[in-house]
Amino acid sequence: MSRHDEAASRSLLIHAAQVLGTVLTFEHPADAVLSRHFREHREIGHRDRAFIAEAVYGIVRRLRWLRRLVGDDARPRTLLLAWLARGEGWPMRHFEGLASATERDWISGIKARELDEGSLGERTDLPDWLAERLLATHGEAELVELAHSLNRPAPLDLRVNVLKTDRDELVGKLKADGIDAKPCRFSPQGIRLAGKPALQKHPLFLEGAFEVQDEGSQLLGFLVQPKRGELVVDFCAGAGGKTLQLGAMMRSTGRLYAFDVSEKRLAKLKPRFARAGLSNVHPVLIAHERDAKVKRLAGKADRVLVDAPCSGLGTLRRNPDLKWRQTPESVAEMVAKQGAILESAARLVKPGGRLVYATCSLLAEENDGVVDAFLAAHPEFRQLSAKDVLDKQGIALDTGERLRVSPREHDTDGFFAALLERAPADA
């Protein structure tokens, strides 16, 4: 929602510049900064919160372009005014009463300013190191397109809870409530909404008929392909979106272990499991990937999902600040951790069992690099074709042996996954 049709207030611009100033230190995630500001300022209404959030995210997405446009005086307020003038295309009359005469003269100059093409990092609004890394696996034109797709806000996707309803029925009920909903292109459980309706208090959400989950993330469940009565492990359960999907696909039978190192995250999961109608989920707090609780399941799991902690660069549509908060050093630390987690998770897979390694990163070293190193060290595992496994479930998605989806080609978050199988005992 942009306010092309109505002027904002002076206090709203002050709030937006305050939040932006804190976000631009990149010490905390942008969504956490916004949440805290709104908790501390409960007088800010729903529409004004949306305005502040969208302005902040817009500026963080296009930060390099805006800093070039503004020049040396790149304070939060000047970045905000430049964004409203150029990014949102506000006419000059919207700035009357909001900006001083001097500021309005400056805004006129910003509206007229033209920039040269700039470096690859500047054209893609990425830090130089990241543009260079991505250039190694994408052509320049493809990288520019990818960056543009990452700089657009993500759509809102839902996943139908197959324990409670089916997709067609849910789409019909949402439409009856005036929510513009349609089936997703790839995920058989996915529904894409046209807008961003508030859903936390919607009766269908409260009764567990759906969860919010990106379509790309939903596809990982179809690679795991859990069956009724199996023993399945979600090795890095996190917020639990994929755990909920796996539990529903198992029809709440068998045993589904949700491992995580965060007690807080696991505590938040319990009400979600109850709402979803799942009784087969066992949350397990672990200290690290080599915890004794992990070792107890060695060689017992039919299927293990490793949705590894990663740089998150495939989620820049939702978390644009990540590109400024990650560094080559933080990525190198991630890669070491990913290798160790995959190594430990693999020990749980029984002969003939399946292991899915996934990230929401676009970087080769977090994806192919980790899987290739693992396969080289573990001849007892072989790769299965992600394309073939999805095909058999009616999902036509030609991404080759390993799953790769991106906002540029699939209008999903950027996900990578490799599907591995342990050799049967008699092999």
pLDDT digit string, tens, across residues 190-205:
999 998 898 999 999 9
The pair of structure tokens assigned to 316 is 């820049």
Q: How confident is the model at residue 36 (pLDDT cuts 50, 70, 90)?
A: very high
Q: Reply yes or no on whether the pLDDT at 3 is more than 50.
A: no
Q: Reply yes or no on whether the pLDDT at 2 is more than 80.
A: no
Burial of 421 (0-12, 13-18, 19+ CB in 10 A): middle
- Rounded to the nearest integer, the mean pLDDT of the chain is 95
pTM of the model: 0.94
pLDDT of residue 202: 95
Phi and psi angles of residue 417, each rounded to the nearest 5 degrees, phi first: -150, 145
Rounded CA gap, 53 and 346, in Å? Answer: 41
Going by C-alpha positions, the residue among 86, 8, 96, 5 that lies closest to residue 52 is 8
Going by C-alpha positions, the residue among 208, 200, 127, 198 that lies closest to residue 161 is 208
Rounded CA gap, 115 and 69, in Å? Answer: 7
Q: What confidence tens digit (pLDDT) does each residue in 133-150 have?
A: 999 999 999 999 999 999
Q: How confident is the model at residue 41 (pLDDT cuts 50, 70, 90)?
A: very high
Q: Reply yes or no on whether the pLDDT at 6 is more than 70.
A: no
Rounded CA gap, 228 and 279, in Å? Answer: 13
Rounded CA gap, 388 and 225, in Å? Answer: 13
Q: Reply yes or no on whether the pLDDT at 410 is more than 60.
A: yes
Where is pLDDT greater, at 353 or 117? 353
Q: Reply yes or no on whether the pLDDT at 268 is more than 80.
A: yes
pLDDT of residue 416: 98
Q: Reply yes or no on whether the pLDDT at 5 is more than 70.
A: no
- DSSP track, 199-262: -TT-HHHHTTSEEE--HHHHHHHHHH---TT-EEEETT-TT-HHHHHHHHHTTT-SEEEEEES-
- Per annotation, catalytic residue among 184, 236, 310, 360: 360
The pair of structure tokens assigned to 358 is 């996934």
Q: How confident is the model at residue 160 (pLDDT cuts 50, 70, 90)?
A: very high
CA angle 405-156-51, nearest 5°?
Answer: 120
Q: Is the dihedral of CA 286, 290, 291, 296 positive or negative?
A: positive
Q: Is 360 a catalytic residue?
A: yes
Rounded CA gap, 183 and 187, in Å? Answer: 8
Q: What is the mean pLDDT of residues 218-241?
A: 96
Q: What is the mean pLDDT of residues 264-289?
A: 94
Cβ(373)–Cβ(340) under 8 Å? no
Rounded CA gap, 71 and 73, in Å? Answer: 6
Q: What confidence tens digit (pLDDT) does each residue in 304-321 have?
A: 999 999 999 999 999 999
pLDDT of residue 414: 97
Q: How confident is the model at residue 427 (pLDDT cuts 50, 70, 90)?
A: low
